[in-house]
């Protein structure tokens, strides 16, 4: 077709689409609710407040400061990210999603006190809150209106950020964990082609990172502010897709990696770094490529943060969306199945492929906790059989997989039982609450089953960590000690990769520049008082110990181990060797060739760290001490062999 005709058509399609979950689906939500009796006796006791922050991860589990599992049983208290739809005056309630005007704050503060709302959360049995905000909110100096905080008069004259501060303080004071969620750039309802598609859609990446450093520092002293959920539902704009690993300014993998490391090193080392998968790519028209990638790309390219044990992945699921369905009706609707159209067996397989595998497969470079940070459904007047069945089935899947979750949303507004029925708790203009457990909400049974489900509890033992190095487009130095050097550029002009502190290099790919690190079978090998050496020649290859005859060997000295490497293009440039503590490294060694096929042993751990490329890997009880390559005609000087030596 003629490009001048196609582009306006595609722009029109995309501008009208709801590309994501509940944030853009007013037409899918059932707007009404029948009246319900006043709130009765609480169905759950208050969330336990005896856990100790900060949180971290051990394998697929989130743990508290004592090493006990802390399952995120969460809900979303939305509003501070905006409820205005983007058209008409923001002062008019009718121009806000479902008529719910949050006043640029967490929803409901005009109708109920913060303490009453939090008490409702505790009755639901949750222990944590995902608290969305917008970048615009951070800089908004306009005081909230008196009417918007009518039930909380002490907040009069406050800016939205100051209200957010109070909400964080009250939530954490009640024993709840808070996850900061950068939901939007602008303070308006998410999510379509609305200027909030990417972290840098309506602002620069530098502004986005600066705002995150500001927010992370702001709550640094509050150990119950536990996470930084970096951005919500990254998706396509009118003309461009986000991607996972291409190295351009739409690369969500690279942007989240950089922001996460900056938060940990410059602002708040206590926070979990939460990275959501990509929500949508492509044109939602039958016959054209389109999909909801979620966490599928993580299997091939995972994050390695500068601090191990801080990464959590997240994904969103709703009945009306699908693996290749935007959730739209009419324009933008395709013939692809929605999640509610899948059989229970198909739903199980799809969820595992798109997200749950990250937590269910152990000892992989991608193994991490999975937090389903949004799922939900219409309330009392949702009568669709498929919709209801999906919710029951999805709750069963959350229970079976024992993954962390957050319901969307917790708070809604109603008048005479009518309103946006998705919330679990609703307040009318007179301050009367309509709750999940008032006896007429069909979701109550499934929610109770979910909150009370048996799962892994108690102490979680430390596990071996496996990490990917991917200097695909630039430096990938995950070591604090190397970053802190007076001159951290240890091979100027080359792309450098280094394992996180406490880990050692275990594997390399023949092409593709990927590496694998781990602390398996050994605690940290490094001598904290020792130094490092950048090896660019064969100075440490002893006479009579040529472990790769005819090849150039970058070998560490005795008492050193490989912690990193550098490349120029696809060619090996240098080996990064670090001094080990006395008595930790053994002698002797073997050559692992991987120039003509994989050589990773039987049942290797760590997973496929270089999809589509030959790989070599030392055994769990070994360490890498050298890299061999050839400069012969026709060779690109890519890694051909590893020198693997025994640990003591």
Question: What mean pLDDT do residues 285-300 have?
Answer: 97
Spatial separation of the C-alpha atoms in residues 357 and 380, rounded to whole Å? 33
What integer pLDDT is reported at residue 49 of this predicted model?
67
Tell me the pTM.
0.94
Contact 401, 369 (CB under 8 A): no
Q: Where are the beta strands (DSSP E) in 221-325?
A: 225-229, 272-276, 281-282, 290-291, 311-316
Quote the CA–CA distance of 274 and 182 in Å, as a whole number: 11
Helix 114-124 and helix 160-173: axis angle, to 10°?
50
Q: Is the pLDDT of residue 9 over 50?
A: no
For the chain, percent of residues with pLDDT exceeding 90: 88
Token digits for 159?
């800016």
SS3 assignment, position 340: helix
pLDDT at position 332 is 87
As to burial, measured by CB atoms within 10 angstroms (0-12 exposed, 13-18 middle, 19+ buried), residue 262 is middle
Per cent of the chain over pLDDT 70 is 92
Q: DSSP states of 459-505 as a string?
A: B------EEEE--SSS-EE--HHHHTSSS--SSTTSEEEEPPTT-EE
- 176-212 pLDDT per residue, tens: 999 999 999 999 998 878 889 999 999 999 999 999 9
Cα 36 from Cα 591, distance rounded (Å): 73
* DSSP three-state, residue 411: strand
Mean pLDDT of 439-452: 97
pLDDT mean across residues, the chain: 92
Q: Residue 325's pLDDT is what? A: 97
Residue 35 has pLDDT above 60, yes or no: no
CB 385 within 8 A of CB 371: no
130-147 pLDDT, tens digit each: 999 999 999 999 999 999
Among the listed residues 560, 529, 437, 590, the one whose alpha carbon sits nearest the alpha carbon of residue 42: 437
Q: Which two tokens stand for residue 263?
A: 């938060």
DSSP state letter for 353: I
| Span 104-121, pLDDT tens digits | 999 999 999 999 999 999
pLDDT at residue number 193: 86
Whether the pLDDT of residue 217 is over 90: the answer is yes
Distances (CA, A) of 544 to 151, 551, 558: 83, 15, 15
> Which is it for strands 418-419 and 411-415: parallel, antiparallel or unpaired?
antiparallel
pLDDT recorded at residue 646? 96
Q: Find the mean pLDDT for residues 543-566.
A: 96
> Could you tell me if residue 383 is left (phi over 0), alpha (psi between -120 and 50 degrees) or otherwise beta?
alpha
Query: For residue 634, what pLDDT is reported?
Result: 82
In this predicted structure, the answer to whether residue 25 has a pLDDT above a threshold of 70 is no
476 vs 530, more confident: 476
Question: CB-side exposure of 475: number of CA atoms within 13 Å?
Answer: 17
The contacts of residue 115 (CB under 8 Å, 6+ apart) are: 170
The pLDDT tens digits of the residues spanning 578-591 come to 999 999 999 889 99
344 contacts: CB under 8 Å, gap ≥ 6: 393, 396
Task: Quick: pLDDT tens for 483-540.
Answer: 999 999 999 999 999 999 999 999 999 999 999 999 999 989 999 888 999 999 999 9
Q: How far apart are CA 156 and CA 83, in angstroms?
A: 20
pLDDT in the model for residue 191: 82
Local confidence band at 48 (pLDDT 50, 70, 90 cut-offs): low
* Pairwise CA distance, residues 37 & 175, whole Å: 29
Residue 211: Cβ within 10 Å count = 22
Q: Which tokens sit at 636?
A: 């690109």
- The predicted structure's pLDDT at residue 529: 87
CA dist 534 and 608 (Å) reads 27
Cβ atoms of 391 and 339 within 8 Å: the answer is no
Answer yes or no: are the C-beta atoms of 126 and 46 closer than 8 Å.
no
Q: How far is CA 610 from CA 21, 243, 244, 544, 601, in A?
A: 32, 18, 15, 33, 16
- Cα 110 to chain centroid, rounded: 32
State the DSSP code for 37: P
What does the block give as tokens for 331? 């324009």
16 SS3 class? helix
Query: CA torsion sign, 469 to 474 to 477 to 478?
Result: negative
| Predicted local distance difference test score (pLDDT) of residue 247 | 97
Residue 20 pLDDT more than 60?
no
Query: What span, in angstroms and rounded, lies between the C-alpha atoms of 75 and 406?
Result: 4
Bridge partner list, 643: 591, 626
Q: State residue 316's pLDDT score.
A: 98
Which candidate, 58, 203, 66, 60, places its Cα nearest to that of 138? 203
Q: What is the arithmetic mean of pLDDT over 307-331? A: 96
């Amino acid at each position: 077709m003629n490009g001048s005709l196609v582009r306006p058509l595609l722009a029109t399609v995309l501008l009208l689409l709801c590309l994501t979950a509940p944030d853009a689906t007013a037409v899918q939500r059932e707007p009404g609710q029948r009246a319900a009796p006043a709130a009765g006796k609480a169905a759950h006791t208050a969330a336990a407040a005896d856990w100790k922050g900060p949180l971290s991860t051990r394998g697929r589990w989130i743990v508290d400061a004592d090493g006990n599992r802390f399952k995120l049983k969460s809900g979303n208290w939305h509003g501070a990210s905006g409820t205005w739809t983007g058209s008409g005056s923001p002062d008019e309630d009718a121009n806000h999603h479902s008529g719910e005007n949050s006043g640029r704050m967490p929803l409901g503060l005009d109708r109920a006190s913060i303490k009453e709302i939090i008490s409702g959360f505790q009755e639901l049995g949750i222990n944590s809150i995902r608290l969305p905000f917008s970048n615009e909110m951070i800089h908004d100096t306009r005081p909230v209106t008196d009417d918007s905080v009518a039930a909380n008069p002490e907040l009069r004259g406050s800016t939205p950020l100051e209200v957010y501060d109070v909400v964080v303080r009250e939530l954490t004071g009640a024993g709840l964990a808070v996850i900061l969620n950068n939901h939007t750039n602008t303070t308006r309802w998410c999510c379509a082609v609305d200027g909030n598609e990417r972290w840098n859609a309506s602002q620069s990446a530098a502004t986005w990172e600066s705002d995150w450093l500001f927010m992370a520092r702001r709550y640094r002293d509050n150990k119950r502010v536990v996470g930084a959920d970096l951005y919500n539902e990254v998706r396509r704009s009118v003309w461009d897709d986000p991607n996972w690993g291409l190295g351009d300014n739409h690369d969500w993998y690279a942007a989240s990696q950089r922001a996460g490391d900056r938060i940990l090193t410059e602002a708040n080392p206590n926070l979990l770094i939460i990275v959501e998968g990509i929500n949508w790519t492509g044109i939602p028209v039958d016959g054209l490529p389109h999909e909801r990638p979620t966490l599928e790309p993580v299997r091939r390219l995972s994050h390695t943060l500068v601090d191990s044990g801080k990464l959590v992945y997240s994904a969103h699921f709703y009945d009306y969306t699908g693996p290749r369905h935007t959730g739209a009706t009419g324009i933008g609707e395709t013939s692809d199945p929605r999640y509610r159209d899948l059989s229970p067996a198909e739903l199980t397989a799809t969820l595992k492929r798109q997200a749950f595998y990250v937590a269910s497969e152990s000892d992989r470079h991608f193994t991490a906790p999975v937090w389903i940070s949004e799922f939900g459904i219409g309330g009392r007047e949702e009568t669709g059989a498929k919709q209801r069945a999906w919710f029951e089935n999805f709750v069963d899947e959350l229970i079976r997989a024992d993954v962390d979750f957050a319901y969307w949303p917790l708070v809604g507004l109603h008048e005479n039982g009518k309103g946006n029925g998705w919330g679990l708790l609703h307040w009318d203009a007179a301050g009367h609450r309509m709750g999940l457990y008032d006896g007429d909400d069909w979701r109550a049974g499934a929610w109770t089953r979910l909150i009370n489900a048996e799962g892994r509890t108690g102490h979680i033992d430390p596990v071996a960590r496996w990490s990917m190095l991917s200097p695909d487009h630039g430096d990938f130095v995950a070591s604090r000690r190397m970053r802190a050097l007076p001159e951290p550029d240890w091979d100027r002009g080359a792309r450098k990769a280094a394992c996180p502190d406490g880990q050692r290099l275990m594997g390399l790919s023949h092409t593709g520049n990927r590496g694998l690190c781990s602390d398996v079978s050994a605690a940290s090998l490094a001598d904290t008082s020792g130094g490092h050496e950048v090896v660019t020649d064969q100075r440490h290859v002893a006479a009579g110990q040529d472990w790769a005859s005819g090849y150039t060997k970058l070998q560490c000295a005795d008492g050193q181990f490989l912690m990193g490497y550098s490349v120029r293009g696809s060619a090996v440039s240098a080996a990064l060797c670090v001094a080990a503590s006395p008595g930790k490294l053994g002698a002797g060694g073997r050559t692992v060739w991987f120039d003509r096929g994989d050589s990773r042993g039987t049942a290797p751990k760590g997973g496929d760290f270089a999809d589509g490329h030959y790989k070599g890997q030392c055994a769990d009880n070994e360490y890498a001490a050298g890299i061999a390559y050839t400069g012969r005609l026709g060779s690109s000087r890519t890694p051909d062999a590893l020198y693997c030596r025994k640990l003591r």
